[in-house]
Amino acid sequence: MKLLGRSALVTGSAKGLGRRTALELAAAGCNVAINYVSSQVEAEQLAVEITAMGRSAIAIKADIAQEEQAEHLVSAVEREWGGIDILVNNAGPFIRERRLFGDYRPEDIHYLMNGNLVGTMLLDHRVLPGMRSRQWGRIIHFGFGHAGEARSWPHRAVYAAAKVGLVSFTKTLAVEEAANGITVNMICPGDIRGGNKEKSIAEVADILDDESPRGRPGTGEDVARMIAFLCMPESDFITGNTIDVSGGLDPIRTNLKG
C-alpha cells in the first residue's frame, strides 16, 4: 500500500466512476473524502465501506460549480486530515439531452462551464498551497475520449468546450507545478454505461460489447486502476497527459467494423 496515510478528495464520488475510484484509492492506503450533492445515503454508505477497510473516510455535501461550496469542501477535508495529497476532479455536470448550442439557456452555459472547468480550476487553486508546502501532490482531471484532439462534438458544444479547455489547463498546470512534486493528468473514459461504472473487470470479462473494439464493456475498475497508478509515488515522471481509457472506442465518431 504505497499510498498509506495519504489523503484523497474525490469529487462526485457517491456513485459511478467516482465511487469506484474512491474504493481503489482506499485499497491503496488512502484516507478518502467522499463528495456528493444529493446522494447522501450512498455517500455515507461508501464511507462505512472504506472505514471497514481500515481507512478513514468522511462524506461532505458540496456542489463544486458553486465557489463557496467548493471552498467549504476543501476546508472541511483540511480540518479533518490537515491537507489534501490527491485531488480527483471527477464531478462535472452533463446534459444528456442532445441540444444545439443556440438552444441552450444562458444559465445552462454558465453551469456547465462552472461545473466542468471553472470549478475544477478553483479547486486546484485551493489545494496547491498545501501540496507545494509538502512538495507532493497528485491532481487528476476528467475529460472524454479523444478530448485532447479538440474535435467538434455537435449537440455537446458547451460540455466539450469546457473539457477541451481543461486539456490545455492540465498541460499548463503540470509544467508549472512539476518542480514542486505535483503531477497533473487527465483521464478520458470511454462510453462506460450505467452499473458498469461501479463494476470490476472480472464482472464483465465474458460480456460481449459489439460497439467496443476491445470486445467487452468498460468498467469503473478500468478507470480507477489508471488513476491509482498515476497517484503512486513512482509515477512522478508522468504529468501533463490526457489518457484515454476507452478500449479503443471513439465516443464521437461511429466505430466502423469490418
Q: pLDDT, tens digit, for every residue of 187-226?
A: 999 889 899 999 999 999 888 888 888 889 889 999 999 9
pLDDT for residue 11 is more than 70: yes
Domains within the chain, CATH numbers bracketed? 7-245 (3.40.50.720)
CB 47 within 8 A of CB 60: no
Residue with more model confidence, 40 or 151: 40
Q: What is the mean pLDDT of the chain?
A: 93
Tens digit of each residue's pLDDT (9 = 90 or more) over 97-115: 899 999 999 999 999 999 9
User: What is the structure's pLDDT at 255?
Assistant: 38
H-helix segments, the chain: 16-27, 40-52, 67-81, 106-113, 119-134, 157-177, 201-204, 220-231
Name the residue among 250, 243, 251, 238 with its Cα closest to residue 224. Answer: 243
pTM: predicted TM-score of the whole model, two decimal places: 0.94
Residue 143 to residue 160: CA distance in whole angstroms: 9
- pLDDT over 60 (residue 256): no
Q: Answer with the residue of higher pLDDT: 256 or 83.
A: 83
Residue 251 pLDDT exceeds 80: no
Q: Check whether 254 has a pLDDT greater than 60.
A: no
CA dihedral 172, 175, 179, 180 (to 10 degrees): 30
Lowest mean pLDDT among 113-122, 177-186, 236-245, 247-256: 247-256
Phi, psi at 31, each rounded to 5°: -80, 140
Share of the chain above pLDDT 70, in %: 97
At 248, the pLDDT band (50, 70, 90 cuts) reads: confident
What is the Cα gyration radius of the chain? Answer: 18
